[in-house]
Amino acid sequence: MEGLIQFDTAVNPGNSGGPLLNRQGQVIGIVTALANPAEQNFFVGIGFAVPIGTAVSAAGGPDY
């Protein structure tokens, strides 16, 4: 996968579409996928988010 933000903050199934925030509380991405290599019932993997500039542009908004 290219062009995504990889993060390891706690994320659970069902969080897709939620915001990824930085320390200042700014939305920097939209959570899109989870990789859970252990195939457990709880999240032990990593998350991926589309950068907010890409998401806004795809929705027809102004370029960042």
Please report, for the domain that includes residue 17, its CATH number. Answer: 2.40.10.10
Asked if residue 64 belongs to a domain, the reply is no
Asked if residue 32 belongs to a domain, the reply is yes
pTM of the model: 0.74
Structure tokens at 55: 């998401």
Asked if residue 44 belongs to a domain, the reply is yes
The whole domain housing 27 covers 5-58
The mean pLDDT value for 10-25 works out to: 83
Please tell me the total count of domains within the chain. 1
The model's pLDDT over 21-58, given as tens digits with 9 standing for 90+, comes to 999 999 999 998 877 777 666 666 788 999 998 888 87
Do the beta carbons of residue 19 and residue 31 sit within 8 Å? yes
Asked if residue 63 belongs to a domain, the reply is no
What pLDDT does residue 5 have?
94
Please give, one letter per residue, the 3-state secondary structure of 14-32.
CCCCCEEECCCCCEEEEEE
What pLDDT does residue 42 have?
65
One-letter identity of residue 36: N
User: Helices (DSSP H) in 1-64: which residue ranges?
Assistant: 52-58
Does 62 have pLDDT greater than 80? no
